[in-house]
Homo-oligomer: A and B are copies of this chain.
Amino acid sequence: MRALVLDGTLRFVSDYPDPKPGTGECLVGVRKAGICRTDIELTRGYMDFRGIPGHEFVGEVLAGPPNLQRRRVVGEINCPCGRCRMCRRGLGRHCPNRTVLGIQGRDGAFAEFLVLPEDNLHPVPDSIPDAVAVFTEPLAAALEIPEQVRIEPDSGIAVLGDGKLGILVAQVLNRTGARVTIWGHHREKMAPLEPLGVETRVAGEEPVVPSGEYDLAVEATGSWDGFALARDLVRPRGTIVLKSTLAAGSEINLSTVVVNELTVVGSRCGPFAPALRLLERGEVRTDFLVDAEFPFSQWERAFERANAPGAGKILIDMQGAG
């Protein structure tokens, strides 16, 4: 099959062996895949991944049980062992023996076909177009926040970062009734949130922020500077949620965390079922997040565009010729 293979560098391979589903697994034909920030980090050495990257996708089951056969699906990316202590606690997404689609020990979605366990697949309602369904995975990551942290409806929330994830997080948290402010560098990216009642602020342009204004800050900037700003924005006993995975460490002073008794919560993958419900009901908007779509043959242009500062979501049509 045709696939993008990461092996130090990312390259196109036309004769990669077709994947063979094992017991309880399905063969999925990939329809569309999205390029995530994590994919860019992988090409820079994050996780030391070798193989086919890609974990945001919508596809069609080509071989699987009758209830899934020919169904359009999205797929959870963590494949747990099902037997260890974490799995027995219902924390399969943290199984130490897990493989992760296109990230760890398992080929991913930048290919004609992929394989995932049947349990990972969620049928996509017909009313959700492919270009929306492909946002199920990042929307689930946004929904991980209320899964981990109780969101008080009368709280003030700062979302730092106007990338795709920040925009999804702002929409999810805005639905709770909380006062949500998003901070970013691109006024035009944040503008569609204003009619939804989200306050927008351009970082650097605003007057000095009163410190301790917010009960909760979500760091989704993808840089360590975001952590420092979050730490200054939240009130004592407030919470900072970290959504960025970064390869490199940084000089961070945690003494404010102690003195102000802050809670810092790392947050990663989330639940797919509520993400699909919100997308089906049209209650989270993704249309203005898509920057461009490329046919598979133009994958290099797609990655270049995704790598540009401030890029929106880049989709690849995996079946499209070109």
A152 CB to closest chain B CB (Å) equals: 12
Say yes or no: B266 contacts A259, CB within 8 Å.
Answer: yes
Asked if A266 and B254 sit within 8 Å, CB to CB, the answer is yes
Q: Which of the candidate stretches A1-9, A245-253, A306-314 sits at the interface with the other chain?
A: A245-253
* Cross-chain contact of A253 among B235, B236, B249, B254 (Cβ < 8 A): B249
- State the CA gap A237–B256 with chains docked (Å): 23
Contact A265 B268 (CB under 8 A): no
Please state if A96 and B268 are interface contacts (CB–CB under 8 Å).
no
Shortest CB-to-CB span from A100 to chain B, Å, is: 10
* Closest chain B residue to A247, Cβ basis: B255
A267 within 8 A of B: yes
- Residues of chain A at interface, number, CB under 8 A: 38
CB distance from A215 to the nearest CB of B (A): 10
> Chain B contacts of A236 at CB under 8 A?
86, 91, 94, 96
Q: Is the CB of A268 within 8 A of B259?
A: yes
Chain B positions within 8 Å of A246 at CB level? 254-255
Contact A265 B261 (CB under 8 A): yes
> 19 additional contacts, CB 8 Å, given A94-B236, A144-B261?
A94-B235, A94-B260, A96-B212, A148-B261, A242-B258, A244-B258, A245-B255, A245-B258, A245-B259, A249-B251, A249-B254, A250-B253, A251-B251, A251-B252, A252-B252, A259-B266, A260-B266, A261-B267, A263-B266
The 7 closest A-B pairs by CB, nearest first: A94-B236, A249-B253, A257-B266, A258-B266, A264-B264, A261-B266, A252-B252
Q: Is A243 a contact of B258 with CB atoms below 8 Å? A: yes
* A257-290 contact mask (Cβ, 8 Å, vs B): 1 or 0: 1111111111110000000000000000000000
Number of copies of this chain that the complex holds: 2
Contacts of A294 in B (CB 8 A): none
Known: A253-B249, A255-B247. A94 touches B266 (CB 8 A): no
Complex interface residues of chain A between 208 and 256 (CB less than 8 A to chain B): 212, 227, 235-237, 242-256
Q: Give, as a whole number of angstroms, the nearest-CB distance from A273 to chain B.
A: 19
Contact A254 B237, CB 8 Å, known A96-B212, A261-B268: no
Q: How far is the CB of A251 from chain B (nearest CB, A)?
A: 5
Q: Which chain B positions have C-beta within 8 A of A227?
A: 254
A254 touches B242 (CB 8 A): yes
Partner of A235, one of B86, B251, B252: B86
Q: How far is the CA of A215 from the CA of B178 in the complex (A)?
A: 31
Residues of B with C-beta under 8 A to A249:
251-255
Beta-carbon nearest neighbor of A257 in chain B: B266
Max count, chain B CB within 10 A of own CB: residue among A244, A247, A255, A267: A255
CB distance from A299 to the nearest CB of B (A): 27
Kindly state the separation between the CA atoms of A246 and B258 in the bound complex, as whole angstroms.
9
Q: Closest B-chain residue to A236, C-beta based?
A: B94
